[in-house]
Amino acid sequence: MNYKVLTQNKNIQGSINLPASKSISNRALIINALSYSPYPIRNLSDSDDTKVLEAALFSNTSKFDIGHAGTAMRFLTAFLAKIVGEWEITGSERMQQRPIKILVDALVQLGAKIEYINNEGYPPLKILGSHLEGKTLELDGSISSQYISALLLIAPTIENGLTLELKGDITSRSYIKLTLELMAKFGIQYQWEGNKIVVPEQHYFPLDFTCEADWSGASYWYQIMALADDGEILLENLKLDSLQGDANIADWFVPFGVSSIQKENGVLLKKTKNYHPQELVLDFIENPDVAQTMACLCVAKEIPFHFSGLKTLKIKETDRIAALQNELAKFGAQLVEPADGELAWEGKLDMEMKEDLPLIKTYHDHRMALAFAPMALAGLPMQIDDPMVVTKSYPGFWEDLEKVGFRIEK
């Protein structure tokens, strides 16, 4: 099934009830389980990833299939390694191609008993939950922050706690900070100086906790306002002063004429001026999940760009570097990869390459559908393949687009 995305309305008005933060929800679920809390987490994300993780934590089975949910795979692997029992965890075909050896090796150093069922270094895994004993682990800071967060979440519950020494540049530092700040809300003390994180052995305290709205989801509405001629959108339950690192993007959109105003019930986006930068140079090392948003925006507005800090994009739901190159070529944009972790475009469209109604492949990656659809506002209609892939993080996305004037032909 494909959706055709069209719109002629360039004045965007409305109020959007954003999904809750998947990043906060998934971390809070693990912390809640480790604190043996009697309180349910309020305003949990209704994304596929969170539903899968919640179902696993509350199930009576010892075998878990987490589908495409990378966060659930990493967090559950660490969690189950310390929970007494025999466990198996698997996922989709793509998930079985996503490496997990770095995390498994780290857990084994702590005393975990984990075996690879099929291919060395990749899910599915067989885990014999056992007593873990803390020590100092050295990890490459440029690896996925989800490995680091998975270890940090269980760190207080390990005998003698855990010390992580991160070598080199730290990718997605904001997500590590998010993990530690959430742990602190549940009573955990830690030290983070330079590249060294120390979490002593201690107890989580149960907390009646409510998740805030998702800034990654908000990025598509910033993109829409940047492409609009006029209008304003209220993003309900969103906070400018947020635990989420992607809140930084509010500043990125000022040059596009989009202002952000904190209201009591959310953040109001207003199109103040209709202009854009001559060139966009951004480092995504703290915000890799909004790279697709910004690449699609730049092509839609024909803005040259040079992006860096994208090394982790190749091990996401798909190889997002290759996926962006493949699909933006259908609009006439030839993106290049100047170096590992970089993506660039000179700002010129090849009209011979441009398709009238391109079919955008999503590669089982929710952010491909979410980032490409707003381009219709720039007079670039398209078809989206496998449109319901958005349920991974933003199940109501298509309905929300229709609320503000997009035409979605199903």
From the candidates 49, 214, 289, 400, which is the catalytic residue?
289
DSSP 69-138: -HHHHHHHHHHHHTSSEEEEEE--TTGGGS--HHHHHHHHHTT-EEEESSSTTSS-EEEEE---B--EEE
* 8 A C-beta contact, residue 381 and residue 4: yes
Q: Which two tokens stand for residue 353?
A: 């390459």
DSSP 216-282: HHHHHHHHHHHHSSEEEEEEET--SS-SSGGGGHHHHTGGGTEEEEEETTEEEEEE------SSEEE
What single letter denotes the amino acid at residue 159? Answer: E
Overall residue count recorded for the chain in this entry: 410
Residue 344: Cβ within 10 Å count: 17
What interhelical angle do 70-81 and 145-154 show, nearest 10?
30
How far, in whole angstroms, is CA 166 from its chain's centroid?
Answer: 21
- Under DSSP, is residue 319 helix (H, G, I), strand (E, B) or coil? coil
* Separation between Cα atoms, residue 297 and residue 225, nearest integer Å: 10
* Separation between Cα atoms, residue 5 and residue 409, nearest integer Å: 7
Tokens 């995305």, located at residue: 5
- Under DSSP, is residue 353 helix (H, G, I), strand (E, B) or coil? coil
- Rg, Å, the chain Cα set: 21
Active site residue 289: yes
Dihedral-angle region of residue 178 (phi above 0 means left; psi in -120 to 50 means alpha; beta otherwise): alpha
Q: Which two tokens stand for residue 181?
A: 């700040």
**Phi, psi at 48, each rounded to 5°:** -55, -45
How far, in whole angstroms, is CA 34 from its chain's centroid?
Answer: 23
Residues labelled as active-site residues? 289
